[in-house]
Amino acid sequence: MRISLVVLVLALAGLLAVDLEPSAAPRKAEASLPQKATKPAPRIVEVAFVRNGRLIRVERVVPENVAPEVHALRELVQGPTRVERRKGIRTAIPEGARVRSVRADGELWIASLSRSTFGVGAPQTKRTRLLQIAATLTPLGPQAYAVVATEGRLVTTLRLGMRPDDWRAEIGENDYPYLVRGVQLRLWTLGYLERSDVTGTLGYLTEQALLAFQGWEDLDRTGTVTGQTQVARTPVMRTPVMVMSVMVMSVMPTPTATASSCSASNSPSIATPPRSSAAPDRTGSPSWPPCCIA
């Protein structure tokens, strides 16, 4: 009798344990919510304008399939919007200026604009235009210099992060302007001049550097800033049928020989190709004047 009672108790306990177990029935799969595709954040560039005599940066959204540097300079020459103008934002870039080309080439930005960019205006106004161009290009990459040209002819070379020198332009062939200091700085970046020879004044060493450069590039050797030389030092026009299009310094081995290499004789001689590049001084960080975001 006792055995039967024990068996009955154990049987009841087993049934209770079965009831307490979680159900093995499959649960309905929870409906997964569709995930929204995240759009990439828009690319932003900063364009340098002027307000109350001070540099000011405004933001622009870069369209798809457009290089940031191209869009930045295009927005620069288009000028402030109506809303920005109501806020007192202005530009020194003349109406009608256009961007011909802009690209990075090693440590350089090479930008060519329309001729009207530096056509009219007071020297201080043209200096402000250079400041706006340089300040717009500075945040776009690690480049330390900007070669500025009009219609592919060198106007000047700017050290980014530094204020441009006063506008004291010489008038070259076909009335294309150029700044002597900018020409010398370009010759220095190419290795034809010592940094201490970048003085803003044409002299014997600059003449010899130009002769060496012209000889190396197979140009007419005059020792002056000719139209050919302006184009050759600004590798933005690459028309295959033009002799000058071969003069793309950035693709060639960068020279380093200084003017003294060709000063041993007063008579012009074929310049020896320079061998290596003089390292530009990169000490210090860009120090633009205080700016704000509009």
Q: Name all contacts of 198-206 with Cβ < 8 Å and 24+ positions apart.
A: 200/165, 200/168, 204/259, 204/263, 205/259, 205/260, 205/263, 206/180, 206/259
Judged against a pLDDT cut of 50, whether residue 217 lies above it is answered with yes
State residue 218's pLDDT score: 85
Judged against a pLDDT cut of 90, whether residue 147 lies above it is answered with yes
Q: Name all contacts of 56-61 with Cβ < 8 Å and 24+ positions apart.
A: 56/89, 56/291, 56/292, 56/294, 57/135, 57/291, 57/292, 57/293, 57/294, 58/84, 58/89, 58/293, 58/294, 59/293, 59/294
pTM of the predicted model over 0.85 = no
Mean pLDDT of all residues in 128-156: 94
Q: Which has more pLDDT, 261 or 199?
A: 199
Nearest to 246 by CA among 268, 228, 271, 269: 228
Mean pLDDT of all residues in 74-94: 96
Tell me the two tokens of residue 132: 């706006």
Neighbours of 110 (CB within 10 A): 23
In the chain, where the domains are located: 44-262
Phi, psi of 158 (to 5 degrees): -110, 140
